[in-house]
Amino acid sequence: MTPKTLPPATPARTAAPRPTEILSAEHRVIEQVLVVLEKMSDRARTEGEVCLGSARDAIAFLRTFADKCHHGKEEARLFPAMERHGLPADAGPTAVMRAEHEMGREAVRRMDEAVVEHAKGDKSAASRFAYHAHGFVELLREHIAKEDQVLFPMADRMLPSAVQTELLADFETAEREEMGAGVHEEMLAVAERLTAKWGVTASEALAKAHACGCAHAGPAVRPAGTPLQKAR
Ligand SMILES: [Fe+2]
Ligand SMILES: [Fe+2]
């Protein structure tokens, strides 16, 4: 793994990134799609219409990149490693994160239902789409902030370097064997298409992600107008 997958403003270095840096870089991509979803939700609420193509793309991205790829690495690899090194599996912070992943899956399922109903001509489905999309955006922004600010720094401190190296290799294996060749890049292209269509910039996504006023900055994101970086 080379540092090429980190966002561009990360200082150059020769050491491999930490597993949590890979995950935080993926957060930055997800946050940009959350802004797209927020704009789609606002339009659905005010105009009573769901942009079906964008909604289907966003749902595909959320299910494949945000859930299967990103949450998959957290649930199957990072969290178990933290639990082997002292965190309780059933009542600690990783349990809370898993529960929030489940809430997110349910919200995406509801969004998908609304899109299907809207495509069949049910105009009232636009408000249901807006409701679940808005809820998902709020949930995931808070979830990402908790991971970036609390859980990931905890992982950096508690996991020995050998374990972190193993996790990096596990992440690569997951991408190759569980996601399939090219799927990660395909999803980045979907995110790129959505952000271009809805005029979302990285700086806007970062500002909205941290509108709570927290000091967290996370890895730098792309400057406005530049392509999305590979997040792994
Ligand atoms: Fe998570
Ligand atoms: Fe995450």
Is there a contact between 167 and 16 (Cβ–Cβ < 8 Å)? no
Nearest-CA neighbor of 70 among 125, 33, 40?
33
CA of 30 to the centre of ligand 2 (A): 9
Which residues neighbour ligand 1 (ion) by CB within 5 Å? Answer: 74, 97
211 alpha carbon, distance to own chain's centre: 17
pLDDT tens-digit readout, 66-97: 999 999 999 999 999 999 999 998 889 999 99
CA of 75 to the centre of ligand 1 (A): 8
In the predicted structure, residue 123 carries a pLDDT above the cut 90: yes
pLDDT, residue 210, reads 67
Domains present along the chain, CATH in parentheses:
18-202 (1.20.120.520)
In the predicted structure, residue 50 carries a pLDDT above the cut 90: yes
CA of 85 to the centre of ligand 1 (A): 19
Least confident window among 57-61, 76-80, 137-141, 217-221: 217-221
The pLDDT of 215-229, averaged and rounded, is 38
Per-residue CA distances from 189 to 91, 124, 181, 199 (Å): 37, 31, 14, 15
Which residues neighbour ligand 2 (ion) by CB within 5 Å? Answer: 147
CA of 47 to the centre of ligand 2 (A): 32
CA of 92 to the centre of ligand 1 (A): 14
Ligand positioned closest to the Cα atom of 97: 1
Could you give the percent of the chain with pLDDT greater than 70? Answer: 84
Kindly indicate the confidence band of residue 224, based on its pLDDT and cuts at 50, 70 and 90.
Answer: very low
Ligand positioned closest to the Cα atom of 27: 2
CA of 187 to the centre of ligand 1 (A): 18
What the block records as the tokens of 92 is 């600690």
Other CB atoms within a 10 A radius of the CB of residue 121 amount to 7
CA of 171 to the centre of ligand 2 (A): 13
pLDDT tens-digit readout, 4-34: 343 444 444 557 899 999 999 999 999 999 9
pLDDT tens-digit readout, 154-190: 999 999 999 999 999 999 998 888 888 889 999 999 9
The whole-chain average pLDDT of the chain stands at: 87
CA of 146 to the centre of ligand 2 (A): 9
pLDDT, residue 45, reads 95
Q: Could you tell me which residues come within 8 angstroms of residue 172 by beta carbon, excluding any fewer than 6 positions away?
A: 1
Q: Taking the model in full, what pTM does it have?
A: 0.85
